[in-house]
Homo-oligomer: A and B are copies of this chain.
């Protein structure tokens, strides 16, 4: 599983930072969380123009969705036929209808799913859950949580109990009892404890809130609003944002492995803001655009930050057609 930071900027982009956009890859699934202006080019400049099938919007402020019309248009011009599902808080339909009036309808099917806090979308091997955040507008955080995986199968023990390799091994792993040389063998006799899946949480823009902490309990990665430095905590509260240090305190309490601070206002030195966060939680970092976090299964180690990883992994090199002059 990986998380690619396509846009790490605040409400206003900068020369270095595009507005909000995060791509999560798990197996063959590619999910985009928020879609600020320029998201399609951030994809083209790194992983390539992925044909996403799931998009999730946290809320409907301009810096979180202005890249959507262009992306849909580009898919359309490319002859896309594959359906696309766009999720967001209540109001999503109205937003897309307004955009349709400006742009015209896409020819490929787009399904709109309006979500409430606490909704859970079951996928193959994981679920996407929403939780309520506090941003002075209808806003959702998202937790992508993998299902528990079955424990490790002890082949030697199975053989010792007289269960030979073959269909009986599969039955045990599916949770069924089978016959051994010395009586019935139960799954618990040969299977280790079930292993936790991975969890990634994306807060979107929000003041620090309990729902985020609860959704993040034991998560491998929390991506959290860190709009302000501590000196402006009052302003953060007024605007429904967090200081980097508040985000870090929340991450420490929730016991996450890694905290990615995003949406840092361009008025600050990122370094200063990050130092404030690290006084609370050593696992805080501030991704730049195109950084990537690789998340192994928990038993295989900690999440790893790969600087510029989304470019290295991608097809972001100019094509022949582009490089000629």
- Measured CB to CB, the closest approach of chain B to A241, in angstroms, equals 13
Q: Which of A45-70 contact B (CB under 8 A)?
A: 45, 62-63, 66-67, 69-70
With an 8 A cutoff between CB atoms, is A269 at the interface? yes
- Smallest CB-CB separation from A78: which chain B residue? B12
Please give the residue numbers on chain A whose beta carbons come within 8 Å of chain B beta carbons, in ascending order.
Answer: 11-19, 37-38, 40-41, 44-45, 62-63, 66-67, 69-70, 73-74, 77-78, 95, 98-99, 101-103, 266-272, 274, 286, 288, 316-325
- Are A325 and B18 in contact (CB-based, < 8 A)? no
- Are A12 and B77 in contact (CB-based, < 8 A)? yes
User: Contacts A62-B69, A69-B66 given: A322-B270 contact, CB under 8 Å?
Assistant: yes
Q: Which of B15, B41, B272 contacts A15 (CB 8 A)?
A: B41
- Smallest CB-CB separation from A65: which chain B residue? B102
How far apart are the CA atoms of A41 and B67 in the complex, in Å?
Answer: 13
Q: Which of B38, B78, B99 contacts A38 (CB 8 A)?
A: B38
Q: Which of B38, B101, B321, B325 contacts A266 (CB 8 A)?
A: B321
12 contacting pairs across A/B (C-beta < 8 A): A11-B73, A12-B77, A13-B44, A13-B70, A15-B45, A15-B318, A37-B66, A38-B38, A38-B41, A270-B324, A271-B325, A272-B324
- Measured CB to CB, the closest approach of chain B to A12, in angstroms, equals 5
How far apart are the CA atoms of A15 and B270 in the complex, in Å?
Answer: 26
The count of identical subunits is 2
Q: Which of B11, B63, B102 contacts A98 (CB 8 A)?
A: B102
- Smallest CB-CB separation from A11: which chain B residue? B77
- Measured CB to CB, the closest approach of chain B to A289, in angstroms, equals 10
- Are B78 and A14 in contact (CB-based, < 8 A)? no
- Are A269 and B320 in contact (CB-based, < 8 A)? yes
- Measured CB to CB, the closest approach of chain B to A226, in angstroms, equals 14
User: Contacts A15-B318, A44-B15, A319-B14 given: A271-B62 contact, CB under 8 Å?
Assistant: no
Contacts of A12 in B (CB 8 A): 73-74, 77-78
Contacts of A270 in B (CB 8 A): 321-322, 324-325
Closest CB pairs A-B (n = 7): A271-B324, A37-B70, A38-B38, A15-B44, A269-B324, A16-B322, A270-B324
User: Contacts A270-B321, A325-B288 given: A15-B70 contact, CB under 8 Å?
Assistant: no
Contacts of A73 in B (CB 8 A): 11-12, 62-63, 66
User: Which of A12, A18, A44 lies at the interface centre, i.e. has the most chain B CB atoms within 10 A of its CB?
Assistant: A12
- Smallest CB-CB separation from A271: which chain B residue? B324
Contacts of A266 in B (CB 8 A): 319, 321-322
